[in-house]
Amino acid sequence: MNKRRIIKNALSFEFRDSSNAKWWLENETFVPVAESTTDVVRDIRHNVIPSHVKILKRTIFGQTERKSVFSINIPKGSESSFVVKVFYLVHLTHKLNYRLYGLGEAANSIEAGRRGICTSRVYGCGHMYNALGLVEASVIIFEHLSNAATVSKLMSYRAGDERVKVFMQTIPLFVNLYKAGCHHIDVNSSAVMLSEYDVNPRVFLVDFHHAKFYSKPSTEILMFEAGYFARSCSNFVSTKIVDEWLDNILTAIGIKSSSEIRKMRHRFNYYLESDLSRKWRKILRPHQKAFFR
């Protein structure tokens, strides 16, 4: 299913607000959230931060803002807080390829959830236009995972066995990624989140902007995702714990023969020790190992 169809199926309510921003929403009850989001995005561009907004992340190149993530408090039924991600499309090439940004990540996040990966629910996505009718900002409204914390944060203030416990609790995520045929490209300790206060914490993955989905599982992609994640946690857990964690993942996906385990370890260790650029991570394919010897 292509990304536009994914968006239209999941976010079937189309709406244009008073500023001519175009929105695809889960239903009409999200109209006030979309309208408020439009106002906040324009305020942030002018360095005005409203009191009901908390900036979570801003990406600025030189003097130009490229991306921002913020939480916004808007009472709506049982929910009062949402997370908004904004891509500011500065250059003409970005404006002309606007579908690669907010719409693309929203579709990927929806598809991830459909394939059994726990992630933040998408409530809406939209485009804001400039005076020439070109898209100047691409926006996504997400569920706020307010009871979850990133693995990097949890590791930073826990010690010893508690860090090991957090690390081991991520195993189901990698099994689900494998089963879903998902190549996320950036599964690191800041993109993986655990529901902090649950007896059996759920494991969430966010930031699906560059993700790809395949029709079949791939052990090569899994070893890359696992190695990349373990590398981001290397300051917090020992090599012995990482080996045990990997063994559990391999067992969970049905790899038990000694020869297959050795093969998987070889691939995992390659990715664990490699600092691959985003360019290389994006071109990795399920059976394309020739680039990565």
- Please write down the HEC assignment for all residues of the chain: CCHHHHHHHHCCEEEECCCCCEEEECCHHHHHHHHHHHHHHHHHHCCCCCCCEEEEEEEEECCEEEEEEEEEEEEECCEEEEEEEEEECCCHHHHHCHHHCHHHHHHHHHHHHHCCCCCCCEEEEEEEECCCCCEEEEEEEEECCCCEEEHHHHHHHCCCHHHHHHHHCCHHHHHHHHHHCEECCCCCCCCEEEECCCCCCCEEECCCCCCEECCCCCHHHHHHHHHHHHHHCCCCCCHHHHHHHHHHHHHHCCCCCHHHHHHHHHHHHHHHHCCCCHHHHHHCCCCCCCCCC
Mean pLDDT calculated for residue range 253-267: 96
pLDDT above 70 (res 291) = no
Cβ-proximal residues to 292 (8 Å cutoff; 6+ apart), any chain: 270, 271, 274, 276, 280, 284
Poorest-pLDDT segment among 59-63, 140-144, 150-154, 207-211: 59-63
pLDDT surpasses 80 at 76? no
- Residue 288's pLDDT band, with cuts at 50, 70 and 90, is low
Compute the distance between CA of residue 52 and CA of residue 61 in angstroms, rounded to an integer: 26
Indicate the residue type of 169: Q
pLDDT for the residue 221: 96
Alpha carbons 282 and 187: distance in angstroms, whole number: 12
% residues pLDDT > 70 (the chain): 95
Least confident segment among 59-63, 133-137, 242-246, 261-265: 59-63
What is the pLDDT confidence band of residue 143, given thresholds at 50, 70 and 90?
very high
How far is residue 132's CA from residue 26's CA, in Å, rounded to a whole number?
Answer: 28
Q: Which single residue is written with the structure tokens 């394939």?
A: 115
Is the pLDDT confidence value at 290 over 50? Answer: no
> Tens of pLDDT along 161-188?
999 999 999 999 999 999 999 999 999 9
- Does this model's pTM top 0.95? My answer is no
Mean pLDDT along residues 66-80: 79
User: Tokens in use for 4?
Assistant: 């536009």
CA 170 to each of CA 50, 66, 118: distance values in angstroms, whole numbers, following the listed order: 36, 31, 11
Region of poorest pLDDT, from 30-34, 65-69, 82-86, 117-121: 65-69
| Confidence band of 293 (pLDDT split at 50, 70, 90) | very low
More confident residue, 287 or 29: 29
**Mean local confidence (pLDDT), 53-60:** 87
Instruction: Say which residue, 290 or 81, is predicted with more confidence.
Output: 81
